[in-house]
Each structure stands twice: as C-alpha cells, then as structure tokens.
C-alpha cells in the first residue's frame, strides 16, 4: 500500500486558484462521495483551509490512481489543468508523512507556529471518519500527527512570542502590568484588529472591556460579544479616567486623542500609569502624548520591531521542531514496514494450529475413551507446545524492522515454513 499526498498551498498557487478549489470542497460529504469512487483508492483524507487544499490517500497502484485524484481536484472548480499542475505538489511515503507533520505543527503555515491549523486538520479528520473514508494507515497516521504537533508545542517555543500586531499589543501590556486580571481595557475602533485584541485580552483575564467607535452600533455588537460596555468617541477623554490600557485601531484620518486631552486626564488620575497602544495607520494618537510622565505610548512600528524579534525566535525554534519531525517520521515508517510481516505471522499461526488439531485428533483416536478433563489437558498441552515453538520466530519477525531486503526476508521465512504450498 502506498501513501500519497498532493495539493496546493499559499506558496505554490495564487489565492484565486485556492479559493476556487476550496469552494468545491464546501460540502465535505459530497466531496468524499466523489473521491471514494476513484478506483484503487483505499483510504482518503481531504482538508482545505484558506492557505491550502490537500488530498492524502493510500493506494496499491499509484500510477493508475494518482491521475484520477488530480481529475477530482480539477472537477472541483473551473480551473485549467495547466494552472493546477503549475501549483501542484505530490509527496509519497516519508515525504508525505513529513509534510503532514509540518502542516499540523504550523511549520508550513504563512505565520510559522500558528496554532489554528492543528484544529483545522483535526476537523478534517473528524469529517473523514464520519464518511468512513479512513482505515488502519490513515487513522494511525493522523493520531500520530496530533501527538507530534502536541510534542512540538510542548518541547519547543514555536508557538510562543506574539507574531501578530494585536497579539503583540496585548503581550506588551502583560509585560508592563505583569497581570491583566484586574485591569480595564478600552478598545477604540471595532474592526478586525480590535476584535482580535479583545480575544487576546479576554484570554489573559482582563476584568472589564470597553469599546468606543464612531458608529455606536458596531461598538455595541463587539462589546456584547465579549460582555463589555460600549461608548461613543465623544466620551473618550472622560473614559480615560477609568481605564488602564487603551488599544486604538480606527480608520480615522485625523488624530482622535491629543496630548492636551491626556495631560488633563493625568492630573485627575493623580499620575496613575496609563498604557496606550496605537496600531492604526495613520496614527490615532498624538505622538507627543509619549512625553507625559507615567504615560506609555507605543505605535505599530514599535510592535513591528517586537514581532520581527519574535519571528526570528520562532524560526530558531523551528529547527528543533524539524528534528522532532524527522525522528517521528522514522518511527511511523518503521510501523508501516512492520505491517508487511503480519500476513506471514498469521499464516504461520494458522498452519501450526492446523497441525496441532490434526495430530491431537489422531492421538485421541488411538488412546480410546478419555474424560473431558483429560481431553482438555491434552488440548492445552499441544497449544502450549505450539505457542512456545513459534514464540521466537514471531518475535524475530516483529522486531526485525530493518532487513536489507524486506521482501526477500519474508519470502525466506515463508519458504522455510512452507507456508505458500500449504495454502
């Protein structure tokens, strides 16, 4: 059985092509129904994210099955075979395993170490099992994939250090305050950046969230989602009296908070520290605010510098992750190789049991009438002798995972025990 992975991703194909193919896989059940009709295909897993569309499958006949799987991808959308082939990559055996491990661990992601991809692969596997599309090999491989990704998360720092602007802003606040559990955060703007920032703030236990936006309705929607309070921009200066952290990300073309406004507030706050992060371009906050005592203002360039350092750190950690993956790929391939000996082990046990039953029957005929207990004792005796005689040969086959020529080794064992003639 051969293991093959093919697909396209953000490095090999443009967004337009990825969008078209991903659109064709929106209905997972229909997708599995079509691909399971491919002749020669034994097990299959389909997964698509915003950055990749991949098919992982097993087949005993790659030359016949592979073109059919490519046709399946072509039929997902109106794309030319030339466009698809230009971005298509195909991995087999160890390379396919390595690629899957790298994808699930976030090493093949646009942002190295991003954690969402593991959840996406798990969801794809859940769908595949619902459609009864996986078997012994892919089940084992996917469970191994999840454990490898978990090991990499726990043994390397690949998921540490913020590499998004919103996350970096919250990380910076954590470094300044130590803990955010008793802090109040004000988000100015209710767009995607603000939404991401709220998610990170809530994860770190900020006690209260306030959202200010030019359109109050949008502020209300975001605040309600996270159990916060919504205010209008006109209330911004007054709100500064109550907060510890301000993260601003509006699309305004002019500054929404000046140095004089913050200066007035600081007198009323009795110089209690105020942490401001301006991730808007153009900037929302007057840069001169940073000259005030006990006011800490950071802009997007400050965060980009932090992110660049963090990305370099993750890249260093990726080297450790690659080493773990190489080791785990080897273990999985060893397991695959061990599968080849099991038919021979089963044939050997069946032959031994057959001989045992026949010889016992002859012996019982010669001995004459025996009690059921005596017959049972003889059965146990013959089975015990058989199992002990086979113990060492079977153990040898299971442990000898790396013969120079596996096929020749198995053939030798089968001839030694005359297994094929007996069949």
Q: Which residues are catalytic?
A: 50
Query: What tokens does 175 get?
Result: 């470094």
- Could you tell me the CA-to-CA distances from 68 to 59, 200, 285 in Å, in that order? 12, 44, 58
Q: Where are the beta strands (DSSP E) in 14-145?
A: 43-48, 52-59, 89-92
Sign of CA dihedral 365, 368, 373, 378: negative
Please give the helix or strand (H or E) that residue 247 lies within, else none.
strand 245-248
For 41, phi and psi rounded to 5 degrees? -85, 125
Helix (H, G, I), strand (E, B) or coil at 2: strand
Query: What tokens does 280 get?
Result: 């808007």
Preceding peptide of 282 cis, ω within 30°? yes
SS3 content of the chain, % helix, strand, coil (to 5): 60, 15, 25
Pick from 330, 319, 306, 332: nearest CA to 107: 319
Q: Please state, in angstroms and rounded to a whole number, the distance separating the CA atoms of residues 107 and 321.
A: 8
Pick from 122, 128, 129: nearest CA to 149: 122
Q: Please state, in angstroms and rounded to a whole number, the distance separating the CA atoms of residues 20 and 26.
A: 10
As a residue count, the chain comes to 423
Cβ proximity of 246 and 277 under 8 Å: yes
Pairing state of beta strands 245-248 and 184-188? parallel
> Tokens 């059965």 identify what position?
379
Please give the helix or strand (H or E) that residue 274 lies within, else none.
strand 274-278
Determine how many CB atoms are found less than 10 A away from the CB of residue 394: 15
Distance between first and last Cα of the chain = 23
> Tokens 């996986």 identify what position?
134
Pairing state of beta strands 43-48 and 52-59? antiparallel
Query: What tokens does 276 get?
Result: 């401001």
């Amino acid at each position: 059985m051969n293991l093959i992975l093919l697909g396209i991703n953000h490095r090999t194909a443009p967004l337009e092509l990825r969008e078209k193919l991903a659109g064709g896989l929106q209905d997972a059940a229909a997708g599995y129904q079509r691909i399971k009709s491919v002749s020669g295909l034994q097990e299959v897993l389909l997964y698509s994210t915003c950055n990749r569309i991949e098919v992982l499958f097993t087949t005993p006949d790659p030359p016949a099955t592979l073109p059919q799987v490519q046709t399946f991808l072509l039929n997902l959308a109106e794309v030319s075979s030339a466009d698809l082939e230009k971005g298509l990559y195909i991995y087999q055996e160890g390379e396919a395993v390595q690629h899957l491990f790298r994808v699930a661990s976030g090493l093949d992601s646009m942002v190295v170490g991003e954690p969402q991809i593991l959840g996406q692969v798990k969801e794809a596997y859940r769908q595949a099992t619902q459609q009864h599309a996986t078997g012994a090999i892919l089940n084992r491989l996917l469970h191994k994939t999840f454990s490898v990704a978990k090991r990499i998360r726990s043994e390397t720092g690949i998921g540490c250090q913020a590499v998004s602007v919103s996350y970096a802003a919250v990380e910076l606040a954590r470094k300044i305050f130590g803990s955010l559990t008793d802090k109040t955060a004000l988000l100015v703007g209710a767009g995607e950046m603000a939404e991401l920032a709220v998610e990170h703030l809530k994860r770190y236990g900020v006690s209260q969230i306030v959202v200010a936006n030019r359109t109050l309705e949008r502020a209300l929607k975001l605040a309600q989602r996270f159990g916060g309070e919504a205010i209008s921009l006109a209330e911004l200066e007054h709100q500064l009296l109550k907060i510890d952290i301000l993260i601003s990300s509006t699309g305004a073309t002019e500054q929404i908070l000046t140095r004089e406004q913050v200066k007035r507030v600081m007198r009323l706050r009795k110089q209690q520290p105020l942490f401001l992060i301006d991730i808007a371009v153009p900037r929302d906050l007057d840069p001169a605010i940073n000259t005030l005592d006990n006011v800490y203002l950071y802009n997007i360039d400050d965060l980009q510098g932090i992110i660049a350092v963090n990305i370099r750190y993750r890249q260093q950690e990726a080297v450790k992750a690659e080493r773990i993956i190489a080791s785990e790929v080897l273990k999985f391939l060893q397991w695959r190789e061990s599968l080849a000996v099991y038919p021979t082990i089963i044939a050997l046990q069946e032959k031994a049991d057959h001989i045992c039953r026949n010889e016992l029957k002859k012996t019982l005929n010669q001995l004459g009438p025996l009690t059921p207990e005596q017959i049972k004792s003889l059965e146990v005796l013959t089975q015990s002798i058989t199992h002990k005689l086979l113990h060492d040969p079977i153990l040898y086959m299971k442990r000898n995972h790396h013969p120079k020529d596996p096929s020749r080794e198995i053939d030798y064992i089968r001839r030694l025990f005359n297994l094929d003639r007996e069949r």
